[in-house]
Amino acid sequence: MYEHDKVFIDGAWVPSAGKGAIDVINPATEEVIGHIPNGTAEDVDRAARAARAAFPAWAATPKEERGKYIQRLQEGLGARMQEIGKVVSQEMGMPMTLSVMVQAGLPAMVMGSYTTILENYAFEEPLGSSLIVREPVGVVGCITPWNYPLHQIVAKVAPALAAGCTVVLKPSEVAPLNAFILAEIIEEVGLPAGVFNLVTGTGPIVGEAIAAHPEINMVSFTGSTAAGKRVSEVASQTVKRVALELGGKSPFIILDDANLADAVKAGVGNCYINSGQTCIAWTRMLVPRDKQDEIVALVKDAAEAYTPGDPFAPTTRLGPLVSKTQQDRVRSYIEKGIAEGATLVTGGPEQPEGLDKGYFVKPTVFSNVTNDMTIAREEIFGPVLSILPYDDEEDAIRIANDTIYGLHAGVYSADKARATRVAKRIDAGQVTVNDGSFNPMAPFGGFKQSGHGRELGVLGLEEFLEVKALML
């Protein structure tokens, strides 16, 4: 049982002003595994004022010193990777074999990347007769989701600290335990008091208080598009800078010259990682109409190999969804897909056989999907893949871009130059070409209603900087 009865404010673990606690539930067993404080606006006020008081000294700290702190944070994360992987598997359900690599390894990698970026980044540069100066934006409120909880925290906190900003963090109350590990590491490395503050609680209380607080200069939010609109609305009252990484309905175009077996393996794997609870999941597989039947057969075999089960069992490839609410939501979309006339290839809304407990959903595939169906337009956030046929390359690009979202996409072809040409025409912040690998130094963010702003790499650092021109 993970018991946390304090929040981290001004360098110390202190009681929350809130009286209650929030249960943390293991989605594979439906059992309570921990408790965290149900924080309040008063907690946010204390944290924001601590961050404001700490800001001048931290902003004036040489970048080399900030880099040393970040390096020590990376080392601390690296030393606790097994523990972090276990905790995240318990609180949100990713299979342990992946969790150590993704949920623990990726945050450590991203944290370390900002040591390198700081070494090479020029905060001042001449431009003709002027001097262009980049300064930290101030106090940053970070509001993060539950699906890749520590990675999303680090993707905000690391560049904010590197830029010279101070931070108030509200992690998701659904998967918050990993954030306490980070706070413990921050305390151990001796980050100055007030530079990092952790307040747990719900979005309507703690999240809104962060977005509204006059001492917070910027909000960086990752979550649903609906919640992002609310953050923007509240933050606008104090004219804060807002960075949003929101939903997606990512297309994966299999071009007619692709190796179908390789393309299907890549597409299904991307859709089902983390049980489909991934904002960049390729949930719309666009396939040549004359090859749809062949591809559907390959997809069915691939999907049925994703065995749901205990996240700590070595054979499990698909963990549970994070909560009963999420399970009900995903099942309702599957039922809607059937009702709207899509062909159910495999899966369905029923509980997987042999799993009486846990928020599991069968790996599900629909074919003969049209882009006006609900399952093709709305973000489901579960292991549900829609296969949509297209007539030619132009038709594929049209369907890919026929969405309010623009976060991610994929293109697969035997001709990399052709795939790259198509990728450039897709309205998305990132597009993977064939087996392109993840690059933690490349910027990440969305077009359209997938948000604005960029995370990771140099552009991720610059989100937290103001630009000043000195006319000399």
Instruction: Decide: 210 and 44 in contact? Cβ < 8 Å.
Output: yes
Instruction: Decide: 443 and 459 in contact? Cβ < 8 Å.
Output: yes
* 160: its two tokens: 């904010």
345: enclosing H helix or E strand: strand 343-346
Question: Where in the sequence numbering do the catalytic residues fall?
Answer: 245, 279
Distances in Å between the Cα of 92 and the Cα atoms of 171, 175, 178, 377 are 13, 6, 11, 26
Comparing CA positions, the residue from 58, 92, 107 lying closest to residue 175 is 92
Comparing CA positions, the residue from 461, 442, 453, 443 lying closest to residue 70 is 461
Q: Cα 456 from chain centroid? A: 12
**Strand pairing class (21-26; 31-37):** antiparallel
Burial category of 354 from C-beta neighbours within 10 Å (exposed 0-12, middle 13-18, buried 19 and up): exposed
110 contacts: CB under 8 Å, gap ≥ 6: 151, 154, 155, 158, 440, 456
241: enclosing H helix or E strand: strand 241-245
- Can you tell me the distance from the alpha carbon of 55 to that of 53, in angstroms, rounded to the nearest whole number? 6
- Tokens 């921990």 sit on residue: 34
- Can you tell me the distance from the alpha carbon of 85 to that of 210, in angstroms, rounded to the nearest whole number? 28
- Tokens 């090479």 sit on residue: 120
- Can you tell me the distance from the alpha carbon of 212 to that of 368, in angstroms, rounded to the nearest whole number? 46
- Where do runs of H (alpha helix) occur along 93-148? 96-99, 106-120
Residue 197, beta-bridge partner list: 168
